[in-house]
Amino acid sequence: MSHYVECKPGFKDCEAVIEALVAVAFDRSQVELHQDAVVLIGYRGDERPQRAHIVIRREHVGPAANDVGWERLPDGTYRAWISEYDQRHRFSEATQNRIKQEYAVAALTRQARATGRTVDRRQREDGAIVLRIAGYR
C-alpha cells in the first residue's frame, strides 16, 4: 500500500521560517524573533500599521527598503508583510518561492528528525529538492 499527498506549504513552524530565510539570503543574526508582535518600520523611519513576530530590519533588506516581517495569526500560521517595493527588489517572486521551498525542506526535516527518522537531501537539476525520509519500522 502506498499513499500520496500533494500540498502547498503554509508558514506554521517559526524555526523553519528562520531556517528558510537563512538558507536563502540572510544571516541568522539579521532575523529577529519576538514573543509579541513588534511594529514594522518603513524606509523613512516611519512606523507602519503592520506588526510582526519574525522581522528583518530594513537595513538588512537593502537601500530604501522597508522592514519585512511575518506575523503569527490566531490559527498559528504566519502571514508575510512585504511592501510592494521590496517585492520588486530583494523579495521578488523568485525569492519568495525559494523561501517557500526552503521552508518546506526545513519543516519536513525538523518533523522527521523529531520522530527519529533520517533525512537525505538531494538537489535535482530542475530546481526541485528531493528528501528521502527513512527509519520507519
Partner 1 sequence: MSTITHKHVEVVVAPDGTCTIDAINFNDASCTQVTHQLAAALGGQVIADRLKPEAANRPRLANRTKEAAR
By CB under 8 A, residue 116 contacts partner 1: no
By CB under 8 A, residue 79 contacts partner 1: no
Which of 21, 55, 82, 107 binds partner 1 (CB under 8 A)? It is: 107
| CA separation for the pair 58, 64 (Å, rounded) | 8
Q: Which helix (H) or strand (E) holds 21?
A: helix 14-24
Q: How many residues form the binding site for partner 1 (CB under 8 A)?
A: 40
CB 43 within 8 A of CB 64: yes
- Under DSSP, the state recorded for 116 is T
By CB under 8 A, residue 10 contacts partner 1: yes
User: What is the nearest approach in angstroms of partner 1 to the Cβ of residue 92?
Assistant: 13
CB 40 within 8 A of CB 131: no
Question: Which residues are at the interface with partner 1 (CB under 8 A)?
Answer: 1-13, 76-77, 97-98, 100-101, 103-105, 107-108, 110-112, 115, 124, 126-134, 136-137
